[in-house]
Amino acid sequence: MSEQAAAPLALTHDQIDDTSHGYDAPLLRVTLPQTQTPVWLATRYDVVKAVLADSRFVRDLAKVPGSEGGGIGAELLDDAGLPPEYRLYLEILVMVDGPEHTRLRSHVLRAFAPRRIAALRPRIERRVAELADELTAKGEEFEFLSAFAYPVMTDVICDIIGVDEDDRDKVAGWIRDYESGEPDRFLPGIDHLASYIDALLDRRAQAPAEDLASDLLRADAEAAEGQRLTRREMIALVFLLINTGIAPPALFNTDAVLTLLDHPDQTALLRAEPALLPRAVQELLRHVSAVHVGATMYATEDVELGGVLVRRGEGVTSGLLAANRDPGTFPEPARLDLTREAARGAGHIAYGHGAHRCIGAALANLQTEVLVEELFLKRDGLTLAGGRDALQRIGFAGDGTYLVGLPVRF
């Protein structure tokens, strides 16, 4: 057993995306961008899965005996200038553990049941086809992230939540204000969206529908004493689902489209064998990863992880993209192979693993499958507009880098 007591390595966002140097060591001592506290960075597939499934690791540092709370998440929120009263909107579900996490998660599970998700396919197919037809008819260059990915993902999650069609542009605008990180935009964005969700819940209390807002109210009314949600928790859950239902899948699908454009041989193979589509989506998730870095988890006791002693209170951050490129699990991991079939129990972990695995994984799979089918199987004219080297990426706090935009044309 080793303790890997080397001095912490201060990583940049780009280095987080490329942590292949860490496969020889199960854990690296690093300082993440925009933070001051060193953490252990796990990059090996087996180590990442182990920590994500180990109940001795928690996301809430306050649950660690002898700790005063805080942690990496709090540092990032402090750096962003987010006042404490707003933090529930970002931390609910994400930063809780055990029975409290189960209580919150149980209220939204029904909306993401397989039957509900499968029923969305015709709606998603129509929206994607209509938007592609519109952009094809214009015959002009367009920016894929803002003109295609964001509108599709906004429409889908708003359908699930129950946001009226006339309000969706406003909701998308508030989310973009929040994501901007600009002091004069992101707090008003949260305020506007929280007020809208509060009013939506009031409307659904009077006229229930088949949507998540109504589900929350029904589930809460039926919940046992001690399991019910406060109104603020309801608002925060809906806020979190709208936020995570728009930006992460939009950013991932933009990277997935670029990946297919970068690999014309694999795209041609997919066109020749359309039955590969579900497997191709999983390979894109492995190759690109929907989220590059998972939330930091803290040891509640001394734990040996991959032969390294992690002391009580120390944080372990999971490099999900790095784990999905681990050569010990995936042969030729840097190569995109749409025929790749993962060994049993060794599929990608782009959606995380364990109790906090993404609740919307089935929805995300469906969205990407529909989008790839429409753009690359039903059509064959999508091309990159401009030089590949001109594309820019932006780093997100505590995470890796994502495309700022992707100019393309049909």
Reported as a single tens digit per residue, the pLDDT across 259-299 is 999 999 999 999 999 999 999 999 999 999 888 999 999 99
Please say whether the beta carbons of 43 and 305 come within 8 A.
Answer: no
- Report how many domains make up the chain: 1
- Token look-up 């690791």 returns 57
Q: What is the pLDDT of residue 14?
A: 63
CA 324 – CA 330 distance, rounded (Å):
8
How is residue 229 written in tokens? 């949600």
Q: Look at residue 4 and tell me if it is in a domain.
A: no
More confidently predicted of 72 and 233: 233
Per-residue pLDDT of 24-59, as tens digits, reads 788 999 988 878 889 999 999 999 999 999 999 999
In this prediction, residue 3 has a pLDDT band, given cuts at 50, 70 and 90, of very low
The H helix count followed by the E strand count for the chain is 17, 13
Segment 357-373, tens digit of pLDDT: 999 999 999 999 999 99
With a CB cutoff of 8 Å and minimum separation 6, the contacts of 84 are none
Give the rounded percent of residues in the chain with a pLDDT score beyond 70: 94
pLDDT digits (tens, 9 = 90+) for 341-356: 887 888 999 999 999 9
- 371 domain-assigned: yes
Tell which residue, 231, 351, 209, has the closest CA to residue 291: 351
> Of 7, 80, 14, whose CA–CA distance to 38 is shortest?
7
Beta strands in 319-395 (DSSP E): 383-384, 393-395
Evaluate whether 393 touches 16 at the Cβ level (below 8 Å). no
CA distance 29 to 309: 12
pLDDT level of residue 1 (50, 70, 90 thresholds) = very low
Please check the confidence at residue 19 and state whether its pLDDT lies above 70: no
The reply to whether 410 falls in a domain is: no
Residue 406 in domain: no
For the stretch 181-218, pLDDT in tens is 787 898 999 999 999 999 999 999 999 998 999 999 99
* pLDDT at residue 21, rounded to an integer: 52
Residue 2 inside a domain? The answer is no
Please report which confidence band the pLDDT of residue 15 belongs to, taking 50, 70 and 90 as the band edges. Answer: low
pLDDT tens, residue by residue, 212-259: 999 999 988 888 888 889 999 999 999 999 999 998 999 999 999 999
pTM of the model: 0.91
Residue 128 lies in a domain: yes
Per-residue confidence (pLDDT) for residue 25, from 0 to 100? 80
Own/partner contacts of 79-85, CB < 8 Å, gap of 24 or more, are 79/34, 79/35, 79/397, 80/181, 80/186, 80/397, 81/183, 82/186, 82/187, 83/187
- Over residues 107-136, the mean pLDDT reads 92
Tokens linked to 405: 């935009």
Q: Provide the mean pLDDT of the chain.
A: 89
Q: What is the pLDDT of residue 44?
A: 95
CATH number for the domain that contains residue 49: 1.10.630.10
| Residue-level pLDDT at 5 | 43
pLDDT at 10: 55
386-395: average pLDDT: 85
Report residue 6's pLDDT band, with 50, 70 and 90 as the boundaries. Answer: very low
Domain residues for the domain of 243 are: 9-398
